[in-house]
Structures are given as structure tokens and as C-alpha cells.
Structure 1
Amino acid sequence: MTVEGMRYRMGLVCPWRDLPKVFGYWNSIYKRFNAWSSSNKWVGVFKALIIDPDWEWKFIDGSYIKAHQHSAGAAGQEPQAIGKSRAGNTIKIHLAMDGCGLPVEFEITAGEVNDCSVAPQFIAKLPDAEAMVADRGYDSECIREQIVKKGARGL
């Protein structure tokens, strides 16, 4: 029920304290979620769920997430991927999906980081495919060359 409580909270984007009692005590679920996030256990779960991706086509895109107003600037914390953009404090998630639209790889950067600057190392992580679809943010000559070197058509 702990993971179900986490999924419920992420789906509704509600405060931890508003979790229904059926999932258990909210603070226990929060502490478990926080521990798993700190230890990168969620990355392992994400990788385990990608058993047989459809690599004929790859889709990549980036999306901004607005960070909470109190999320940046606390003293003594490790660096986090929070940056300034026109929208304020933001984080950017670069996501790759397979031909079925399922996420298969991701990269988290500060909000002001350009898609073109992340794309080379992001694309290098992905296996070869027949075609790669990306938006204008990933449109540059060096990225197109990298896609062709990996044996794919850039669309």
C-alpha cells in the first residue's frame, strides 16, 4: 500500500497530509518516498519496468516543471537541478519514449538548460533505432549528425 499511496499522491499532486488513511500513516509513506528518492531507488524501479521497449522509433522531448518557491536557496544542501527561467524557478525533464509511448530514459536538468546542450549525451545513452522524432529544441546540425551515426532517420 505504500507504493500505491505514493502513486496516489503523485497523480493528484496533493499534500502528503491529505493522503487517505487507507494507504497508512502519511508520514511513513513520505519518509519511505524520501528515502527511496535520496538513494536513487526510483531510478532502479524505472529501469526494472522497462523490460522490452520498442526501439524502432524513439521520441525525445523536454518539459519544464515549476519548482516550489521555497525549493531553492536553502543553506547546506547538495546541489539540485533547479534553475531560473521566464517562469521562475524551474526544473527540466528530458524524456525519451519508445514506439509505444512508454518512457525509457530521462535526464533532469536546471530549467534554463537548452535542449541542444543536453541532447548529445542523452542520445548517446539510447540504443540504435530506425527513426528518432524530436521537437525544435533538439534541432541542430550536430544532433542530426549524431542521429545519423546511430543509424536512425531524424524526423
Structure 2
Amino acid sequence: MPRTMLLKSLWNTLAVLMQQHGCIYHKDTHYLTFEGILYRMRTGCPWPDLPDEFGKWNTLFKRFNAWSKKGVFELLFKLLSENTDTEWLFIDGSIVRVHQHSSGAASTEDEAIGKSRGGRSTKIHLAVDSYGLPVHFELSGGQTHDIVHAESLVTHSPASDFVIADKGYDSGTFRDFVEKQGSKTVIAYRKNSRRPDKSIDEVLYCYRHLVENAFARIKHFRAIATRYDKLARNYASMLALAFVIIWLPMWVE
């Protein structure tokens, strides 16, 4: 049997949440299906190369795609991240390379794949709470500047006392927006900033590594560190699943 990721106690918590919200019905095979999806996320292997112990690969992909269409993984992420520490909110963006197998999707939608000098890429825009636990994320093409999604990240995240970010978010408009939301900004200033007083809370700014740690943690999963999914929806579902795995131990005593 291939190495699995979920203890039975973790799976039981997930299964209860999914059954309560009508995502699945009680069926023993759902455990192996979920483990098969996690195996693919962890290893980044093509769906047809999944071990037979998890079931037929086509069945696993169809189940994942169906759950992705229904927004099951995003719902689980939202449910698990409801009880969060709202004092600090850290935001940042990180680029992932897009594998050639992810190109060519028959879609007229924006699949969050951009072109730059480094080739095709996708950017993950992420917000984490005071403990470095993810609370909201968005996708864009890799060439998109961080500031483009800054206001949306703050809007869709829990209200916080402080918003902490690097100099990529140095914008007077964004600072004003955050202050109107009732939060204070701890954002580094660019060297060419004309603001006479560039002082910030250096101690609090040092904790910005929490959002970097979150990126490092999810990029341990190979299907996250490199994008293989053709559709932005499916890659977002994989991301949501990775965040579920981060949150899940907090729900199990």
C-alpha cells in the first residue's frame, strides 16, 4: 500500500463536515478516493499513474473534478478556517511554474496562466492569520503585480487590527483602503518613496515570515509547487486541499 497522509481521526473529521454540508454520502470507498487525490497532490504524478490500491485512476479524476465543480475543497477550507486569530493579517504573492502539460485547455475563460521571461507561470495571492494559517487565496497570471489583488485579499479575509506586507504593496491608495476598513498598515516603503517618515513597526514586520512559511509548506506538495492542472478551477481546488491539510490538525484533539 502506498504511503498515505490522513489518520483515521483526521478523515473522520473531514467526512463529518462533508456529510453535514451534502458534499458526500457515507461510503467507505470515499476514504481511499480522498487519499488517492492527496497522493496525486503530494507526488505530482499524472492521474493515470496513480497506484491501483486507490482504485481506478479515471474514477479518482472524475470524483476530484466533480468535487472541484461543486466547490467542495473550497468549502472545506472555508469551514476549517472560520475560527481564526484576527489580530494580524499577512499578505503576499508567490509564483509557481506552469508545466507544459497544463497548457491547451479547451476554455475561453482566464485560466490564470501568464507569460513572462521565465515562461508560463501562475501567481498565488495569499493571506494568513496571526499564526500563519491561510484564510484566503486568489490566483492570477504570473506577471500580475501583487498590488492588483491586495484590496481583494483584505476584503475577503477576516477583519484584522493590522495588515502586514512587503514593499510590493507600498501604495498610498492601498494604505488608505486598509485604514478605511479599520485596520493599521505595516508595509515597507520603497527606496524611492517620497514619504518623509518611513518608519514602521519593525518588530511586527519581522513576523511577515509567517506568510512565507505558508508558501514553503504548501510547496512541499509537488502538484502545488508546479502547476499541472489545465483549469484554474482544478488548481485552485488542489490549493484549497493543501490548506485543508494545514488546518485539519487544529480541529482534532
Q: Give the structure-1-normalised TM-score.
A: 0.87
Q: What is the CA distance between 1:121 and its match in structure 2?
A: 2.3
CA contact (8 A) 2:126 2:153 kept: no
Aligned 1:58-97 pairs, distance under 5 A? 58-74=89-105, 76-79=106-109, 80-97=111-128
Question: Which structure shows the bigger proportion of residues in strand conformation?
Answer: 1
**Partner residue, 1:111:** 142
Amino acid at match of 1:136: K
SS of the aligned residue for 2:144 comes to: coil
User: How far does the alpha carbon of each residue in 1:30-55 deviate from its partner, in whole angstroms, 9 at most, with x for none?
Assistant: 11112222333322122122130111
**Partner residue, 2:212:** none
Q: What is the CA distance between 1:88 and its match in structure 2?
A: 1.1
Q: Would you say how many aligned residue pairs link Structure 1 and Structure 2?
A: 154
Larger relative contact order, structure 1 or 2 (CA cutoff 8 Å, min sep 6): 2
Q: What is the CA distance between 1:122 and its match in structure 2?
A: 2.3
- Cα distance in structure 2, aligned partners of 1:22 and 1:70: 25
- Cα distance in structure 2, aligned partners of 1:128 and 1:58: 8
Say which of 54, 57, 60 aligns to 1:23.
Answer: 54
Larger radius of gyration: 2
Uncovered stretches (5+) of structure 1, i.e. residues with no partner: none
Identity of aligned residues (%): 47
Q: What is the CA distance between 1:116 and its match in structure 2?
A: 0.9
SS of the aligned residue for 2:86 comes to: coil
Say which of 29, 32, 45 aligns to 1:14.
Answer: 45
Uncovered stretches (5+) of structure 2, i.e. residues with no partner: 1-31, 187-253
Q: Give the structure-2-normalised TM-score.
A: 0.56
**Partner residue, 1:54:** 85
Amino acid at match of 2:168: G
**Partner residue, 2:173:** 142
